[in-house]
Amino acid sequence: MSDAVTLTVSSDKPQTVLSVSPDRWLTPGESVTLMCEVTNSSTGWTFSWFTVHESTEEVELVPDSIRGSKGIYTVRSVTVKHTGVYVCRAERGDPAYHTEYSNTKPLFVTSVSPSVSLIIRPNRSQHFSSESLSLSCEDHSNSTGWTVRRYTDKLKLCSSSDTRSTGATSTCTIRSLNTSDTGVYWCQSKSIGTLHHVNISVHNGNVILDSPVHPVTEGDSLTLRCLYRDKKPSNLRAEFYKDGSVVQNQTTDMMTIPTVSKSHEGFYYCKHPERGESPKSWISVRSERSQVKTSSFTTITFPLAVCPYLLATVVLVFKCCRSKVSHSSVEDQLQYAVREDEASN
């Protein structure tokens, strides 16, 4: 007789967890990996990946995903068509036993179009609940087809009843914000893809941080403010924190960094002694090194490109002058010979 083994049968299906690496916005051509795991379960599973339809919320099997036991699906060169919300599921046995669908994970692939702008009013990343918010996709090239989209727990349009399109501008207005409106917002076009994503957070508290929605450019100034749900307190003294450490203790509710550098990137929040502290906001700093390099390269290469033309011009002028001198010398000699001949005669 062998040792006894306890067999436990659970009516609950095993849970699958989906993760994405890198978990950030991607640009076309980058590689991304989706990893699916079954929690608290043994091996022997095979995996499938699905996209979630925006309108019906039904799932569709990703046609180029590879089913296997490792739970890894890699796209080596993403395009804008890979933008979407993904889930995974595992199965094993014959007949197949399926787990529940995993948590949803968004995958964003963004392209670049300098003619398109995402305008936020009021222009900040944190907002109080019950306030209104307006987001507009403006195309300065006067093309159409842009829409404002967002991702909270699913991929969807901004509420159709709140969306209005006028020519090359599509505007989404949320008249009374709720904490469930916290998420990522962006402009999207069928022909171009996704552009200009921003993080918007909505809070029920009494204090928020007025911080920029878009990345700050190196060398620019940055101003942060404490904003209050009700009227301003009589004592405006506030502390400002970066990555958990006090960076400035002001007699006012405002802090200014005159010249921003890459070292200023991080999580910021403010704290008022009476009203409390704001949520944290990530402030991103955009480098201008590439533009500087381009400018320096242009400064160097322009004279180098012009020099051959200047040199050729100098050579031509020099040859022309020599030709004139030689021609004048021949004429003088001929005239001298004529005069000598006339004198001898």
Task: Give Cβ neighbours of residue 208 (< 8 Å, ≥ 6 apart).
Answer: 124, 126, 127, 128, 226, 227, 278, 279
CATH homologous superfamily for the domain 111-204 = Immunoglobulins (2.60.40.10)
Q: Which pLDDT score, from 0 to 100, does residue 312 have?
A: 44
Q: Which pLDDT score, from 0 to 100, does residue 143 have?
A: 59
Helix (H), strand (E) at residue 328: helix 289-344
**CATH class in words for 16-107:** mainly beta
Tens of pLDDT, residue by residue over 54-93, are 767 788 999 877 777 789 999 999 987 888 889 999 998 8
Q: Which pLDDT score, from 0 to 100, does residue 113 have?
A: 66
CA distance 267 to 240: 11
Q: Where are the beta strands (DSSP E) in 193-298?
A: 193-203, 207-210, 216-217, 222-228, 238-242, 245-250, 254-257, 266-272, 276-277, 281-283, 285-286
Q: State the architecture of 207-292 in CATH terms.
A: Sandwich (2.60)
CA distance 87 to 61: 10
> Quick check: pTM over 0.85?
no
Ranges of residues in the chain with a pLDDT under 70 are: 55, 111-114, 142-144, 153-168, 190-194, 250, 289-345
Q: Which pLDDT score, from 0 to 100, does residue 165 have?
A: 54
How do the domains of the chain map onto residue ranges?
Answer: 16-107, 111-204, 207-292
Tens of pLDDT, residue by residue over 208-257, are 999 999 889 999 999 999 999 988 888 888 999 999 999 877 678 899 99
Category of 196 on φ-ψ map: left (φ > 0), alpha (ψ -120 to 50) or beta: left
Q: Is the dihedral of CA 209, 153, 46, 6 positive or negative?
A: positive
